[in-house]
Structure 1
Amino acid sequence: MYTTILLCYDGSREGRLALREGAKLAQITGAAVYLLAVVEKASGSMMALAADAEALRRQQADFEAILEEGRQRLTAMGLAPVVRLEFGDPVATITRIAGEVGADLVIAGHHRDGFWSHWLRRSITGGLGDSLDCSLLLAQKVVEDSELFPKK
C-alpha cells in the first residue's frame, strides 16, 4: 500500500495528530518514515536581515528540539525515522522532499482556521494538494496509545 511516508511535523496539536496517525499507518504497512519540519523564511526588508538571521537561528533551535521529540516518539513506537530540517517555503519544500525520498504518502496536520485567519493567509495543505505527485492525508483522527503500543 504505502512504502514511504513523509510526516510533516511542527510540534503543534495538529502535528502530533499527524505524527500518531502516520506512525500507525507505518506500523500497519511497514513503510519507511521521514520526519520533516520546515522553517519558513520570512521575507523582509534589507534593514531587517540581521534581525531575521537571529530569529531564524532561534527558530532552527526550536525546530531541532521539536524534531527530536518527534523522533523519540516514533522510535518508542518501533519505527526508525529519518529526520530532516529544511528551510524555505513550506509547500515548495515539502513537495521537493516528497519527490526526493519517493514518498507515496505525505501526512500533515490540519489547522482549523476561522474565516479571517483563513482569508488572510494561504493554506499550506491546499497548496500541497495542488503540488504533490502522491497522496496527501490531512490528519485529524485521534489515535489512542492502545493502538500504537499493543499489549504483548
Structure 2
Amino acid sequence: MTSYKKILLCYDGTREGRKALRCGADLVLDLKAQAHLLSVVDMRSSIAQSAGMLTDVVCNSFEKSAREILQEGVDWLSERGVKVQGHFAFGHPVDEIARLANELEVDLVVVGHRCRTGLARWWMGAGNTPLLDRVSCSILVACASKAELDAAQEPVEEQVAG
C-alpha cells in the first residue's frame, strides 16, 4: 500500500465535509502524516443570483463564514491531536483543491461527497471527475452512511465527534 505522508483534507462544514474530516483525521493519525485543511469560499451561485451586484458587506460575510468553518475544522482536528495547517481560498472548490494539492505536492486528498440521484445528478454533472483529472495524487471520497444521514439533525459538535 502507498504510504501517504502529506494529506489535504477539504472541509466545508456540511455533513459530508464532517465525514471527510473524521476519515482524514483517522488516516493522518494512523499514518503519522502531515495534514493540511482547506476551506473554499465559492460565491458563484450568489453572484449569479444577484446579477453580479454583491456588496462588500455580503462578500465579507461569506469570507467570515468560511474562515469560521476553517477554524472549526482546525480546532476539531487539534483537539484530537492532529497537527494541521489551515488554508483558505476564494473560487471554485475543484479549482482550489487541485491548485493547493499540486502546490503542496500532497499524496492524498480527502473530500466529502453528497450522493445525488436523477435530475440532480444529470444537472450537476460528474461531481468529482474534474478533480480526478487535475491532481496527480490519490483521492479518498468519504460518503455518509444511512445512519449518518439519519443523524443529520444532530448539532454540529455531535456530528463531527461521531
Scaled to the shorter chain, the TM-score interval is 0.7 to 0.9
Residues 1:137 and 2:133 aligned together: no
Distance across 2 between alignment mates of 1:48 and 1:135: 38
SS of equivalent to 1:49: coil
Question: TM-score scaled by structure 2?
Answer: 0.79
Distance across 1 between alignment mates of 2:130 and 2:58: 25
**1:66-105: CA deviations, max 9, x gaps?**
1111111100110111101101121121111001111100
| Code of the aligned partner of 2:111 | A
Name the counterpart of 2:73: 70
How many angstroms does 1:55 deviate by?
A: 3.3
SS of equivalent to 1:69: helix
**How do residues 2-151 of structure 1 correspond to structure 2 at under 5 angstroms?**
2-42=4-44, 44=47, 48-51=51-54, 53-140=56-143
| Divergent runs of 4+, >4 A | none
Kept in 2: contact 1:91–1:124 (CA 8 A): no
Kept in 1: contact 2:114–2:143 (CA 8 A): no
Kept in 2: contact 1:21–1:141 (CA 8 A): no
Name the counterpart of 1:145: none
Structure 1 runs not aligned, ≥5 long: 143-148
Distance across 2 between alignment mates of 1:56 and 1:68: 18
| Code of the aligned partner of 2:75 | Q
- Bigger drift between 77-86 and 117-126 goes to 117-126
Kept in 2: contact 1:9–1:15 (CA 8 A): yes
SS of equivalent to 2:63: helix
Structure 2 runs not aligned, ≥5 long: 146-160
CA RMSD of aligned residues (A): 2.1
Distance across 1 between alignment mates of 2:97 and 2:126: 14
| Code of the aligned partner of 1:99 | N
How many angstroms does 1:116 deviate by?
A: 1.4
Equivalenced residue count is: 142
**Percent of aligned pairs sharing the same letter:** 36
Distance across 1 between alignment mates of 2:75 and 2:126: 29
